Structure 1
């Protein structure tokens, strides 16, 4: 197909966009009307996951089409924050750079452009492979959409007469700390939360929670407020403040949606929003907003963090559909390859499988389950199957989490009722799925180490290392002092 395609592609890459806080995924707040409108024209994947959370591991799996157990990136620091070296099979260029997601657009004959600070923020320069142009505003991931959208509109104005371009547009606004402009009035502060699941009793439990990003330490390890981001509180003292934090998150989603609307409005006004325009909307991960007593962080391998949106509008497909079944972000690389007719080198190993038939013909391309890994804040491996998520915790990131957790997400979407003791047969089923998956991944790995265990051997998750004693000092003399003994017992040998 190379050379035959006449197409314009917008790839909206939104940081920390929790799927169930969007209208097209059932949210009743009007956070995402623009993205919802694209979903009505396109296809919305209802159970799409980031298999490696959070930011850096997720985008590594997205770009490489490989799970972190193969590409090596499962954390935010140490050995597992870098792609594994290819070794003696490496040629003049490495295989991920030659075959990665954005390189497929370039191979397809597109002028590829990225508006993102991600590569610099994580020293992940492989992310830029395949882009002809990269625009970095220098915010290191702390910029807001008003710094990005004008650059996008300027580029479009200068290239509006041209075809065959792909714009990767990265918005950070739903990411903690929540940072909409200082003069912006929150769109939701007067609007009630219908899903008011955090009751007085639940919040009392949250005030006793041990671990980072709790109600007492929204800032991770303390209750400080960053003067650059005064909207985000350092701690939560009551349910009104819980609501205000969720309002802030939702307004970050809304602000992102409004900026996407500016880009689409420009295209419509200039007669560029037609049948030859493709749109992809997705995220790197979601966010916990009270689940497990964690606020404003993406530090678990659980449903709110790992379930992400995927909306695709593509020429030649029937729009307005929702796709069921389990998919994850390693599947996007082979899908784009099939849609564009590009080729991946014979010796390149990717883990995903194309869902182009689901887009174009409504065929079921789903997987029976999705395995999820988080090693930046905790060390967890989970499996999403049927209505359930089964979570194994190897290192709880100084949260006092059970080693095994099982939740029925249909009955318990906020993961409050751990069924592990009541349903051991389902725990056994989930554990076997994870074991079988790890075995299959290791059989096809060029390395003999699961990088999850590299994180453990290097002292635990990056965001926890060196924090335990300091955190225990914070707990001393408070109503949570009981946690010191439990932390010492559970994390003996760490820190």
Structure 2
């Protein structure tokens, strides 16, 4: 068995043609999807980058491993083993495969970039694409990945993980691809002028009112760091948002070309038809939802829903969509039977092998997904419902939350409930209107949390709540600097008060 796992940072599935997008962003990935299956409701259990890839490598929730954020104690993997032994019931996935005869390799700077040595160290080969950590390009990644394939493509039993940053902002070198995309007849359907008006007055960076963080907004070199496609300071009209989405979509198209180059390397080696190819992402990206732009700052579908495409000899009936609700880390358990390795008892991941072999897969009735930068929050996804609970809102005043009637009790002002079928952009908070649904999903979250606390490796505490108390979710944002910026620029007193209360916000533990 041979597996190529392509991991594209910040890629949301609804901007791929194979998921229904009507711009030609992904011709190579679309062709691959037609040869395989695509999961339409796959979610990262923990976001953003570090929690997500740790969950993938561990086959477990961040609440069990302790990795729930990018900083402080919440970034360190709690390794429940001793000495050189593997964790007895929950080994890291790629190390587990290595111990069952699989040559595993990663071409990625992720381990270095996020001090995630538990991730990179779990592979047989860990290849840093370049020493220019802050200036890495997709060209660097593809060069090293194709070199590895040139050496090993015809070997038996290997897995190659290839990770691209290129869809994450800033959007460099995309002007030519923007022009190509603009040749079509695509138009932005949302946010429109009314949606942008409703978001006016929201607090926090990465919002329509203020995209940069306050420490760089007055920097004369601010736009220069964003290359040929700078992100605007504010989004006042739909045209401003189109500029942003053009950069995002063009970045996808650029990475798509590199995906095609990896597939060409398999063709040149004569093994393309013998390789199982997977395309996924660590998380997605908000493009206006809950007032956030080009950022992953909340537990909600734009951040946590990811593409999951599997093609190759393991797929018996290609060009299918699978609507079962799954975690992205279920991929970890799916790889084991492909390599005749057992699925460890201590993993939360479940195999999706039956779905690849044209057999029914039930998926999960509900998913619970955590998030740990800008806000500390969790979401419950059940059918078309999305319930979001903020443990700490950071410096943000999401319009759907703070413009809605408060509920009663300890969750007042910290909950969102959306019917995604009726309201796909999640502009209406239904917590007060649908109390029976809110109660049910609130109960699901409480039951899940109780189960995690009973079995966690993190000392019997909720690491996400602990980090909200100990560090606060002020990732790249100093509340005092932001409040001072709002005063200096004559923003509303409400905005100033919202930011000032952030440090003393009562956190639900």
- TM-score, length of structure 2 as denominator length: 0.89
Question: Shift of residue 23 of structure 1?
Answer: 1.2
Alpha-carbon distance, 1:253 to partner: 0.9
Do structure 1's residue 148 and structure 2's residue 141 form an aligned pair?
A: yes
Which sections of structure 1, spanning at least 5 residues, go unmatched?
A: 1-6
1:406–1:418: 8 Å Cα contact kept in structure 2? yes
Task: Please tell me whether residue 203 in structure 1 is matched to residue 196 in structure 2.
Answer: yes
Q: In the aligned structure 2, how far is the partner of 1:97 from the partner of 1:170?
A: 28
Is residue 375 of structure 1 aligned with residue 368 of structure 2?
no
Partner of 1:315: 313
Pick from 218, 227, 233 the counterpart of residue 211 of structure 2. Answer: 218
Aligned counterpart for 2:450 among listed residues 439, 448, 465: 439
Counterpart contact for 1:282–1:311, Cα < 8 Å: yes
1:123 aligned residue (115, 134, 137): 115
Would you say the 8 A contact 1:51–1:371 is kept in 2?
yes
CA contact (8 A) 2:395 2:498 kept: no
Residue 271 (structure 1) shift? 2.6
Partner of 2:342: 343
- How big is each residue's C-alpha offset from its partner over 1:424-443, in whole Å with a ceiling of 9 and x where there is no partner? 11111110110111112222
* Whole-Å separation in 1 of the counterparts to 2:497 and 2:183: 42
The residue that corresponds to 2:67 in the other structure is 73
Secondary structure in 2 aligned to 1:188? helix
Describe the shift of the 1:92–1:150 C-alpha distance in structure 2 as closer, same or farther (beyond 3 A).
closer
Q: Does residue 1:20 correspond to 2:31, yes or no? A: no
Counterparts of 1:112 and 1:139, CA distance in 2:
24
Asked if 1:474 is matched to 2:467, the reply is: no
> How do 1:134-213 residues align onto structure 2 when only pairs under 5 Å count?
134-136=126-128, 137-140=130-133, 142-180=135-173, 186-191=179-184, 193-213=186-206
CA RMSD in angstroms, aligned pairs only: 2.4
Which of 114, 119, 125 aligns to 1:133? It is 125
Instruction: Within 5 Å, give how 1:403-442 maps onto structure 2.
Output: 403-442=414-453
* Higher mean C-alpha deviation, range 360-369 or range 131-140: 131-140
Report the Cα distance in structure 2 between the residues aligned to 1:355 and 1:484, rounded to whole angstroms.
Answer: 48
Cα deviation code 1:309-344 (max 9, x no counterpart)? 111124243221111121002312222112221135
Measured at CA, do residues 316 and 52 of structure 1 come closer, stay the same or move farther in structure 2, by a change above 3 Å? closer
Any residues of structure 2 matched to 1:231-380 within 5 Å, and which? Answer: 231-236=229-234, 237-274=236-273, 276-318=274-316, 319-343=318-342, 349-380=346-377
CA distance in 2, matches of 1:158, 1:459: 46
What is the CA-CA distance between 1:479 and the residue it aligns to?
Answer: 3.6
Q: 1:338 to 1:61 in 2, by over 3 A?
A: same
Q: Aligned to 1:166, what secondary structure does the other structure show?
A: strand
Identify if the C-alpha distance between structure 1 residues 351 and 167 changes in structure 2 by more than 3 Å, giving closer, same or farther: same
Range 248-257 or range 189-198, more displaced: 189-198
Q: Contact 1:301 / 1:380 at 8 angstroms: preserved in 2? A: yes
**Equivalent residues, number:** 483
Inter-partner Cα distance in structure 2 for 1:119 and 1:132? 14
Match of 2:404 in 1: none
Contact 1:354 1:365 in 2 (8 A): no
Displacement, 1:296? 0.7
Residue 48 of structure 1 aligns with which residue?
42
Aligned mates of 1:277, 1:115 — CA distance in 2: 17
- Tell me by how many angstroms 1:185 deviates: 5.4
Task: Please state whether the residue corresponding to 1:187 is helix, strand or coil.
Answer: helix
More deviation in 242-251 or 217-226?
217-226
Are the equivalent residues in 2 in contact too, given 1:369–1:384 (CA < 8 A)?
Answer: yes
Unaligned 5+ segments in structure 2 are 402-413
Contact 1:78 1:462 in 2 (8 A): no
Cα distance change on mapping 1:189 and 1:131 into 2, 3 Å: same
> SS of the residue aligned with 1:227?
helix
Corresponding residue number in structure 2 for 1:102: 94
Q: 2:443 aligned with 1:451, yes or no?
A: no
Shifted more, 188-197 versus 363-372: the winner is 188-197
Asked whether the equivalents of residues 357 and 365 of structure 1 are also in contact (C-alpha less than 8 Å), the reply is no
1:24 to partner: Cα distance = 1.4
CA distance in 1, matches of 2:88, 2:109: 20
Partners of 1:404 and 1:471 in 2: CA distance: 24
**Secondary structure in 2 matching 1:393:** strand
Preserved contact between residue 117 and residue 139 of structure 1 (Cα < 8 Å): no
Distance 2:290 2:33 in 1: 31
Q: Report the 3-state secondary structure (helix = DSSP H, G, I; strand = E; otherwise coil) of the residue aligned with 1:375.
A: strand
> Pick from 1, 8, 11: which aligns with 2:5?
11
The more displaced of 181-190 and 23-32 is 181-190
Does the CA-based 8 Å contact 1:113-1:131 persist in structure 2?
yes
For 1:161 and 1:94, locate their aligned partners in 2 and report how far apart those are by CA, in whole Å: 29
